[in-house]
Amino acid sequence: MTILSLRGIEKSYGPIQVLHGIEADVEEGEIFAIIGPNGAGKTTLFKVMTGESYANAGTVTFDGRDVTNEPPHLRTRAGMGRTFQVARVFNPIGTADNVITAIESRKRAQGVRDAPWWAIRPSVTTSEEAMQLLDGVGLADKAAMVASELSHGDRKRLEIAMTLAGRPRILMMDEPTAGMSSADREQIGALIRRVMAAGAGDGRRMTVVMTEHDMSVIFGLASRILVMNQGRRIALGAVEEIRNDPQVRDVYLGKEDQRLEEPA
C-alpha cells in the first residue's frame, strides 16, 4: 500500500528550476532513501514532502489525502514525523519537558482531554508516556537534564522521541546520522530498526523516508532508493538494482568511485 506519493513535482526558486517532474511512491513499511550528489535537489524534494516548501506543480498525497498545500503542522497531525539534519529540540527546557510538549500537542490535536482545563502541570498519563518514550530511545536517565546539556547523539535521540510522541505513521529523517561518531551512527541505525519493528499502532507498519550521504547507512538500512541528479529522478529501485545500475554509477558516483561497494 502506498503511503506517500509524489506526482509530477516541479519546484523553482526564481528562474532556477530545482525539481523536474519527480514521480515516486513510498510504500508502507519500507525504508525509503533519497540519495544524490550535492545540489541534486534531495533536500528540496524532502521539504516538498514535509510541507516546508510547496511544489509549483504536481501533487503530494499522504495516507490517501492530498496534502500538496498543507502546512507542516497539519501533516504532522495526520501522522508525519520529521527529524532534522542537525537535531532540533527545545534547548532551554528540560529533556522530559520537550517530549511532554510534543505529547500535549498531539493530545490537543486529537481532542484527548486527560487533565482538567485548569491544570497547570502535565497529566500523569502524559508524564508517564514521556518517560516511556525517553526510555525507548535510551534517555530515561537524562530526563531531568536541560536539553542543551545533552550530547549531539543524545539530542538526536531526544528528537526522535519527540517525533514518536506524535504517533507518526511515517518518519521523515533528513540525514539522520550526519556528523555522528560511528558508534552513535550504529545506535541510531539500530534505533530506527527498533522503531520499524514496533510498528505505527493500529496494526499498521511504520515507514521511514530518509536522505543520507553515508552509503554504508543507506545500504545497511534502506529497502528502496531514489537516486537524484540535477533535479531529476535517475533511478528508483531496490538496493541491489541501484548498486548495479550503470547510469547511477556514471552520473552520480563516477566510474572509479568505490562507495557503492558493500561496506566492510
Residues lying near other proteins in the complex (CB under 8 A) = 50, 52, 71-73, 76-77, 81-82, 84, 88-97, 100-102, 104-106, 108-109, 118-122, 127, 143-146, 162-163, 165-166
CB of 80 to other proteins, least distance (A): 8
Residue 41 is placed in which grid cell? Answer: 535537489
Q: Smaller CB distance to other proteins: residue 109 or 253?
A: 109
Residue 94 is placed in which grid cell? Answer: 528540560
- Placement of cell 491544570 in the chain: 119
Supply φ then ψ for residue 242, to 5 degrees: -65, -40
Q: Smaller CB distance to other proteins: residue 42 or 75?
A: 75
CB of 39 to other proteins, least distance (A): 22
- Please provide the DSSP assignment of 63-110 as one string: TTEE-TT--HHHHHHTTEEEE-SS----TTSBHHHHHHHHHHHHHHHH
CB of 183 to other proteins, least distance (A): 26
Distance CA 255, CA 225 (A): 19
Nearest to 85 by CA among 214, 262, 223, 198: 214
Supply φ then ψ for residue 170, to 5 degrees: -135, 135
One-letter amino acid of 206: M
Q: Smaller CB distance to other proteins: residue 121 or 255?
A: 121
Q: Smaller CB distance to other proteins: residue 115 or 234?
A: 115
Q: Smaller CB distance to other proteins: residue 119 or 264?
A: 119
CB of 253 to other proteins, least distance (A): 32
CB of 139 to other proteins, least distance (A): 13
